[in-house]
C-alpha cells in the first residue's frame, strides 16, 4: 500500500504533491476543489459532470482533475481500510475467542516438496508412490486419430472456397479418411 500511496500522492504529475496529499487526507484546499474532494471522498456516487466542469472552468486541467480524483479515491480507500482493520483488531482485543480458528489444526503432514529433501519421517510424494502422473493418452503407433468436430474455442470455422471466392459446401468424411487429390 505504501507504494500505491507514494506513487499517487508524491509521484510526478501536473497537480502539486502537497495538494494531492491534502486531498487524500481530506484536509482543506481551495474551492471548488474542496467541494469536489468532499463529494468524492464521502459519497463518490453523488459526483456529477457539473462538479468536474466547475474544476475545469476554474482553470484546472483535465490531468489535474484526474490526479485529484485519484488522490481523493486512494485517500478514501486507504482511510476505510485502516478503519476496518482497526475495528477488527479492537474486536479481537476485546474478545480473543472471536479470532479465526487455526485452519491447519489437525491437518495431516504433507509430503516434502520436490525441492526439499525428504527426511526419514517425511518421504517425498513420488517416493511414497501415492502421487503418480497419469499415463498420457497418446495414440498407439499406426492408430488414426479422428478429426475434431468443429473449431476450437475462439477459432473461426474454415469455409473452403472455389477460385471465385464463393463458399463451397463442406462434405462430411469418415474419421481417418483423406481428402481426394485435387485435380487441375
Domain ranges of the chain: 2-98
Q: Which residues of 41-59 are buried (b: 16+ CB within 10 A; e: fewer)?
A: beeeeeeeeebbebbeeee
Mean pLDDT of the chain: 74
pLDDT at 132 over 50: no
What's the pLDDT tens digit per position in 35-63?
999 999 999 899 999 999 999 999 999 99
Task: Quickly list H helices, 11-158.
Answer: 17-25, 33-43, 49-57, 62-94, 125-128
Residues 68 and 17: beta-carbon distance below 8 Å: no
Q: Is the pLDDT of residue 162 over 70?
A: no
pTM: 0.51
Q: How far is CA 130 from CA 26, 112, 119, 158, 160, in A?
A: 59, 13, 16, 45, 50
If you average pLDDT over residues 114-142, what whole number do you get?
A: 51
The torsion defined by the Cα of 135, 141, 142 and 143, in degrees rounded to 10, comes to 0
- Total residue count of the chain as it appears in this document: 184
Helix (H) or strand (E) holding 4: helix 2-10
More confident residue, 173 or 70: 70
- Please work out, in degrees rounded to the nearest 5, the angle formed at the alpha carbon of residue 51 by the alpha carbons of 48 and 56: 130
- Average pLDDT of the residues in 155-171: 57
- Specify whether the CB–CB gap between 36 and 84 falls below 8 A: no
Confidence of residue 131 (pLDDT cuts 50, 70, 90): very low
pLDDT tens, 56-112? 999 999 999 999 999 999 999 999 999 999 998 888 888 877 666 666 666 555 555
Triad 45, 46, 48: Cα angle to 5°: 110
Amino acid at each position: 500500500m505504501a507504494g500505491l500511496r507514494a506513487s499517487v500522492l508524491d509521484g510526478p504529475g501536473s497537480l502539486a504533491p502537497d495538494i494531492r496529499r491534502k486531498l487524500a487526507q481530506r484536509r482543506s484546499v481551495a474551492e471548488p476543489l474542496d467541494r469536489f474532494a468532499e463529494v468524492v471522498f464521502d459519497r463518490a456516487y453523488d459526483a456529477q459532470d457539473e462538479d468536474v466542469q466547475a474544476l475545469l472552468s476554474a482553470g484546472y486541467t483535465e490531468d489535474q482533475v484526474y490526479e485529484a480524483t485519484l488522490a481523493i479515491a486512494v485517500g478514501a480507500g486507504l482511510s476505510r481500510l485502516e478503519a476496518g482493520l482497526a475495528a477488527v483488531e479492537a474486536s479481537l482485543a476485546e474478545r480473543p475467542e472471536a479470532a479465526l480458528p487455526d485452519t491447519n489444526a489437525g491437518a495431516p503432514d504433507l509430503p516434502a516438496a520436490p525441492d526439499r529433501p525428504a527426511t526419514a519421517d517425511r518421504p517425498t510424494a513420488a517416493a511414497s508412490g501415492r502421487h503418480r502422473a497419469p499415463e498420457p493418452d497418446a495414440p498407439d503407433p499406426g492408430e488414426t486419430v479422428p478429426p475434431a468436430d468443429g473449431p476450437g474455442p475462439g477459432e473461426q470455422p474454415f469455409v473452403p472456397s472455389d477460385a471465385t471466392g464463393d463458399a463451397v459446401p463442406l462434405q462430411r468424411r469418415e474419421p481417418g479418411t483423406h481428402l481426394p487429390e485435387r485435380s487441375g
